[in-house]
Amino acid sequence: MSGRWSLVRRVLSVVAALGLWQALTSYDINLWLRFEQFPTVTEVARAFADRVSGDAYWQDLTDSLTRIVTGFALAAVLGVAVGTAVARSRIAADLLGPVLEVLRPVPAIALVPVAILLFPSNEQGIVFITCTAAFFPVMVSTRHAVRALTPVWEEAVLTMGGGRRRVLWSVVLPGALPGILGGLSVGIGVSWICVISAEMISGEYGVGYRTWQDYTVVDYPGVFVGMATIGLLGWLTSTAVELLGRRLTRWLPRAESRPAALPARRLPAPAAPAAPSVPTAQERVRS
């Protein structure tokens, strides 16, 4: 019941936003903000329908998705590996820590010159920038999550005779997973910002490139089609990350009262390792 109302509210909010846009643009409202040049919702919708029926749109979409999936996957693997190494090994922390801390504040998009110098093609450069953008949030949240692990889990495995590798695979990675997923959620968002910006600067094809092209030829409805496409793709990919996350952390204790109707829209799992709160039913032991 509450799930259905929640859905109604969500739909109403989108409809209201589109309605406001349409009203402001079709009446050419010109107060301090100027809407007279702004395309209307119907113009954008018409342009959208037009684009979707052509091949170029799908080509751009596939290019952007390929770039982001490649860059993000690389960032996920590297971020988890480096974050774990830095959190677990003093030597890794000493060797990598200073370099990472200096590189971290540099916005990935400022690496465009570096990418152009380093890589033989634009394609690899864009993937590099996307990967760098997602790497830091994943690395930092992995590092925090690994450091925050409950020590008894590791001690338990050690006293069962488990070695370093066993501790890594049976305790560290699964235990840090809720925190890592938080980093992945942030990372996929940052990846989109950077893939689009990089395409605008140096891309050939791709949603960002197309959006910028439309702007240079003063095709404003086209620009808005690009923006809507980016929004939808971003929403789709972060939902995919979120769903994957929820699937992998089904062991986390969750409140029973939470509505199950729209699980994908919920906030990411908390970064802290689970400290299960327990319904301590008084129990009698048969022995």
Binding site for other proteins (CB under 8 A): 150, 152-153, 155-162, 166, 170-171, 174-175, 177, 249, 251-253, 274-287
Sequence-separated (6 or more) residues with CB below 8 Å from residue 143:
83, 84, 86, 87
From the CB of 269, what's the least distance to other proteins, in Å?
Answer: 12
From the CB of 284, what's the least distance to other proteins, in Å?
Answer: 6
Q: Are 199 and 213 in contact (CB under 8 A)?
A: no
Angle at 96 between CA 94 and CA 101, to 5 degrees: 105
From the CB of 142, what's the least distance to other proteins, in Å?
Answer: 17
Beta carbons within 10 angstroms of residue 224's beta carbon: 22
From the CB of 52, what's the least distance to other proteins, in Å?
Answer: 43
Sequence-separated (6 or more) residues with CB below 8 Å from residue 47:
39, 219, 221, 222, 224, 225
Which alpha helices (DSSP H) does 104-163 contain, by range? 112-118, 122-147, 151-158
- In the bound state with other proteins, the residue whose beta carbon lies nearer, of 2 and 277, is 277
From the CB of 147, what's the least distance to other proteins, in Å?
Answer: 18
- In the bound state with other proteins, the residue whose beta carbon lies nearer, of 179 and 222, is 179
CA proximity to 193, closest of 237, 156, 162: 237
- In the bound state with other proteins, the residue whose beta carbon lies nearer, of 120 and 151, is 151
Exposed, middle or buried: residue 69 (CB in 10 Å: 0-12, 13-18, 19+)? middle
From the CB of 80, what's the least distance to other proteins, in Å?
Answer: 16
From the CB of 279, what's the least distance to other proteins, in Å?
Answer: 7
CA proximity to 190, closest of 110, 264, 267, 108: 108
- In the bound state with other proteins, the residue whose beta carbon lies nearer, of 26 and 170, is 170
- In the bound state with other proteins, the residue whose beta carbon lies nearer, of 208 and 273, is 273
- In the bound state with other proteins, the residue whose beta carbon lies nearer, of 45 and 148, is 148
Q: Are 181 and 269 in contact (CB under 8 A)?
A: yes
- In the bound state with other proteins, the residue whose beta carbon lies nearer, of 120 and 161, is 161
Could you tell me the sign of the dihedral formed by the alpha carbons of 65, 69, 140, 173, in that order?
positive
